Amino acid sequence: MKTTKFFFPLLLALLASCLGCGQGKRTQYIGIVSAMDVEIELLLKQATIQETKTIGTATFHIGKLKGKDVVISRAGIGKINASSSITSALTHYDVSKVIFTGVAGGVKDEESVLDQVVGTKVVEHDYGYRGNDGFIWCGGDPGLQEPGEFYECDKALVDLAYECSLATLKDQKVFKGTIASGDQFVASSEYVAYLNEQFDAYACEMEGAAIAKVCANYDKPFVILRTLSDKADGVAKESYVDFMDAAGDQSSSILLRMLESL
């Protein structure tokens, strides 16, 4: 009777300990996100993919890349697809940090196609109030017209991305600064001037702010990497088609170097 009395509490304690050990071994991933397949093609070629899974409209590739556990996601184009994809990633997998890789349009005069932009902060340039007097960028409340939000990228990841960009590129320039996101492909010199004046933006694209907002909500560090496929001007569409593949691979090459240091 005495043996039984002390055996069961000991057994329960051992079971609880084993369960705790199992939970502690849960794999933690680096989340890698892009909008299009072409932006992750190089990564998938070098990765060892253990599982490919579709959740909603997003495709997730789970495996190892440069010795790191990764979840690589093709989110789809635009802020809605991006927010849906990153939310699925963060709720289905234990993601420690998020790196967005892809292409964008340049905003600064001194930039050229295939230059690199590392986002220090991200903003929705198309979020606000549109009335008879035009568009006002704000928090969406037509009464208060509060300023919209800037989402800060993780400083450590920004610094690493900048260093890896400099180490990877030879002839192209590397910039750090604001990236402006909106649900439109910008091909207008006039609008580029507005993005420069209003936000001091270095690049414009369609997903970064959505990724940033969800990561901020989940308290996950993130950074946005963008290689310029065009200058978001009157010939942006033609430039985008010509340089999309090269720009996607360049951004991926920088990310691969980052993984070696993480």
Give pLDDT, residue 200: 97
| pLDDT one-digit tens code per residue, 29-87 | 999 999 999 999 999 999 999 999 999 888 899 999 999 999 999 999 999 999 999 99
Distance CA 130, CA 50 (A): 47
- Structure confidence at residue 24 as a pLDDT band (50, 70, 90): low
Give pLDDT, residue 141: 72
The residue with greater pLDDT, 17 or 75, is 75
Residue with tokens 């997003």: 58
DSSP state of 193: H
pTM of the complete model beyond 0.75 = yes
In a domain, 109, yes or no: yes
- Structure confidence at residue 26 as a pLDDT band (50, 70, 90): confident
In a domain, 16, yes or no: no
Domain membership of residue 224 as a residue range: 26-261
In a domain, 21, yes or no: no
Instruction: Return the H-helix or E-strand segment holding 228.
Output: strand 222-230
Number of domains in the chain: 1
- How many other C-beta atoms are found inside a 10 Å radius of the C-beta of residue 107? 29
**Of 207, 168, 247, 178, nearest to 74 (Cα)?**
207
Among the listed residues 126, 154, 205, 230, the single catalytic one is 230
In a domain, 158, yes or no: yes
Is 230 noted as a catalytic residue in this protein? yes
**202 contacts: CB under 8 Å, gap ≥ 6:** 106, 107, 108, 111, 117, 175, 176, 177, 178, 179
CATH code where residue 159 lies: 3.40.50.1580
Among the listed residues 39, 111, 126, 233, the single catalytic one is 39
In a domain, 255, yes or no: yes
pLDDT at 23 over 80: no
In a domain, 6, yes or no: no
Is 260 noted as a catalytic residue in this protein? no
In a domain, 147, yes or no: yes
In a domain, 8, yes or no: no
User: Pairing between strand 128-131 and 58-65?
Assistant: unpaired
| pLDDT one-digit tens code per residue, 163-198 | 999 999 999 999 999 999 999 999 999 999 999 999
